[in-house]
Amino acid sequence: MRTAQVARQAGVNTQTLRYYERRGLLPDPGRTGAGYRVYGPDAVRVVRFVKRAQELGFTLAEIEALLHLAHGGPDNCDATRQMATEKITELDGKIASLHAMRASLARLVDTCTQPRADRDCPLLHSLDPAHDTTPGEQART
């Protein structure tokens, strides 16, 4: 398959394929006599694997390790399990951060109807260095 065909079937652009080649995620394709890249039958599957792994939050370096494991790495899946466990921990941290951000926004919404002197906006305080306060001190907007 040529570059455009692989890109179209995998749902990426041609520059993405070239980037994956440079990173070693895709093997170097063969060339036609005219110099066109010719990809093997697994190219679309590999690119889709990479994109799905990225959607799950894996970095390209982690995906490279996953591809190695998928292509006959160790006999057991300890390394894959370790990587997945670390990713779960990372996602749990992001989820906790998102919950905290949501709580701040909910407080903002709740306080917006109050008179200006009674409003407490932790979101705006956290974004504006001019509103920095010392611990235990509460700033008002």
| Whether 60 and 10 share a structural domain | yes
Buried-exposed string 66-105: b where 16+ CB fall within 10 A, e elsewhere: bbeeeeeeeeeeeeeeebeeebeeeeeeeeeeeeeeeebe
Domain limits for position 123: 78-131
**Cα(136)–Cα(111) distance, integer angstroms:** 20
116 belongs to a structural domain: yes
| Whether 11 and 59 share a structural domain | yes
pLDDT at 122: 66
Instruction: Taking residues 88-112, report their average pLDDT.
Output: 88
What are the pLDDT digits (tens) for 115-137? 877 777 666 777 777 755 544 45
Residue 141 has pLDDT above 50, yes or no: no
| Whether 50 and 88 share a structural domain | no
| Whether 9 and 48 share a structural domain | yes
